[in-house]
Amino acid sequence: MEVHEYIIMLKVKPDFEQIKLVTKKNLYVGDYLNFSDHLLAETFASEFKTTNFKIIDRIFSVEFDELYISLEPSLKNITFQ
C-alpha cells in the first residue's frame, strides 16, 4: 500500500513547529483531521481549544519535493481514519 508524507502548517499560528504526517490516505482540501491520539494532543487542545483541524490548502514544493497542507482549527467533531 502506498504511503503519503505531508508537512503540516498551522495557518492560524505560522510559528508553530511543522509536523510530518505519514498516512496511507491521500489528504485533500476540505478533509478533517483529528489529532486526539497524537503526541501533541494536549498542546493542540490548550493552544487551539480543539484537536480537530480542517485542511484549507495543499501546496507542493518542487524545490524541496515535499507536500505541505495548511490546517485551521475546527470545532466539528470528527475522526481521522
Q: What is the pLDDT of residues 14-73, one digit of tens each?
A: 677 778 888 888 999 999 988 888 888 898 888 888 889 999 999 988 888 889 999 999
Domain count, the chain: 1
**1 has a pLDDT exceeding 60:** yes
Q: Which residues, at least 6 apart from 58, have a Cβ–Cβ distance to it below 8 Å?
A: 27, 28, 29, 67, 68, 69, 70
- Tell me if 45 is assigned to some domain: yes
- Tell me if 80 is assigned to some domain: no
Model confidence pTM above 0.85: no
CA distance 7 to 29: 14
- Tell me if 11 is assigned to some domain: yes
CA distance 73 to 7: 16
Residue-level pLDDT at 14: 67
Residue identified by cell 503519503 is 4
- Tell me if 59 is assigned to some domain: yes
Q: Which residues of 63-74 are buried (b: 16+ CB within 10 A; e: fewer)?
A: eeeebebbbebb
For residue 43, the enclosing domain spans: 4-73
